[in-house]
Chain A
């Protein structure tokens, strides 16, 4: 593995949920420890299974791993870090200020920025604590901070204000304002991150076009702020030997080759490693030792009788969706779970039934929807690209509201506008125009704002309603906010999309919790790309299928009020015919 060649002190693995970065980080830690290095493994995965992997309880303190000499591990839960931060701010005024005020403060501190910064705050001590640097040769992180976080910490203007004024007057330092650490410590952490002799960043991806595109963006964003020492690991490659006698395995193999052939230019120059798909779960030392090895797996795969899956299919949900004749259908979930494909399939099926449908997508590639344009009588298609939308929003704010600012003020405003919250808001503004159409027809969307954004938007809505009431306007009774529309299950159906794998299911569950906080109840879950729902015969795919059953059970019994399982398809579902097939299950 190239990324293991002369590794520096800090190794960061980054990539989206489900690509296997925690497994690769664990395998790396074992390999380095067994080669005689003293290693600390740090996990920030909210679904951290590092403890499970090694069979020890870890938690928020450094814990030696008995089975691997020289290896210790630590789990940081970003949500718990954010909660600790909120308690630190809110705790002292609870019971002192009115309850509504306290709740307002907590909501303000529930955003993505707070979580990210609170977690990074815990990182910085690991990057700068001299005792740790003496005790360990390598510190391995199964995640990396985003470009936004690092830029925020680098911003000299913000910091000088922050220091001169004490507190409060710095611009969008936001959550940082309440943190304990000193400027020097953040500075030292950023210096360590951007120094190639100290830090290596390893991008983890799958051989899928959409995943590779997203990784290419991460690569560029982090390179732009100085993290230039990057490596690429393509995980979960299906070995070509599996494709003998199994048409599904053959199709997957060919699709992966095609995706790698068309790898984005930004990634093609990086040192690259491949890790093959393994038939077993990445639990236990033996499994992890084999992950990075090219040698054939010593485990004999027991081919069971092909799994007969008797789970609800997408077609079972379609009748209920179609019954109302109109409404908003939102597909929600993390990137790469197949929201766009499923949105297109649902839209095409509704149109086939003669119902008017507007399909709108935020997928920048949107090759699916391009082939649909004009293909069906009742179907219209539109596209909202988050990057275009966010850029337009930033330019608009800078040109209008930032017009009179001086250079420094403008630079601060510009940086504030790069906050992850901004993108969500910009995209939502694009969508809110289209949402209104759902009274007359179906509107199917492949994206949706988080519960947090909705609650902030609703606070604005409540303010407008109050203003209208005070002015004695007659139109109040007709005024509905987007929030009210989304909360009403007669008008809106939220479908949560996930994969039958541990991390994606946990991520989907936390998405559902966030929506429930905003009093939006997801209508159904869709488990996409399920191998268990196919009739695969390749031994490797069969053993993957067996592993899916536990996750499907969890969704069925713990999370979803109704659900459907969609099989992994041989061909990419592009075009009307294949999408209809998908919807028919």
Chain B
């Protein structure tokens, strides 16, 4: 409580006061007795609410976590009435979700209670009958129930966002419209669980809650498995890509940083979640084909012969060959294949120009060159970010897509770049020191021709 800024404290106290007022008023009002007669129902719903509230989030959309607990409060609206819904919502105080401090639980309890009461009020106002619905009454239930959900969900979001804003003093994160739509949709979808519980109460009482919960728990389990696998997958792909780089002391960590920078650009140009994920993987994997190029060619001092240059030009194709069996978006493959194309058509392997170059490739090209310039190379030190950005600007329109360069510059202003801090220098006995990097735009590859 002490850590909270005073507006947040005032807000919290006001909420708690409102809840206390509600409880006090319903104790003296005639509605209070309605709750007393249905203690068993109330208890079951409170338990249901608590179970849902205590299990970590079911679905995370962008920055929001959806918990299905509110469907129990909505069921209480139908079965017991506004006062019952408020009491059910209040149980959030007792939540045992790990990592949730008392102050948050108190806030949750208060806001759920208010939402529950408001939803119940709307339900009654729309003519919904309170009490265990008779089997033939179900159709009359739907309209008022939808109304109650339509009040509960936005009110819940509003109260929570206000608190977040007051407590952290940051502007609430801007949410993409599609994310918001998805979020609201899943929220309303979960609302139907309450309807199911209420509608089935006449037939099998509290068992209905169990039957609704089982698929949800299974879903929760599967989501947990999915997230664990996802994390594990990301770690594995990063480790394997780094293994490809271990031989060259100077390019270590290149793949991870290109992946990061590509993701930053992609976010800036407004890509969706799926494509963002795909481009991160593409950035990670863009150079795996480099292993197919003999090390002595990659690091050769002086101009390359045409055959050697042809070998270098082949590495995007080799990379594509390796990753082809993976079920990525096709765009990711295109990104790996064409990440050395140039805006003016002088790149390789196909010599595509301008818009012919796939979007992913245009992004990776910028990220790739940028990381190469800001990293230490044996033949030069790391360039500062500002110099590298200047180089990118210089190359915009010839080597790079100006749109992507501009997007990257904007992204860099928002979140500063962390260049690789330190390079483990090769052991002194290492015979060859590389004298070039095929990704470095300031050191164009020279090819001996006409022999």
- Do A and B come from the same complex? no
Chain A residues near B (Cβ < 8 Å): none
Residues of B within 8 A of A (CB): none
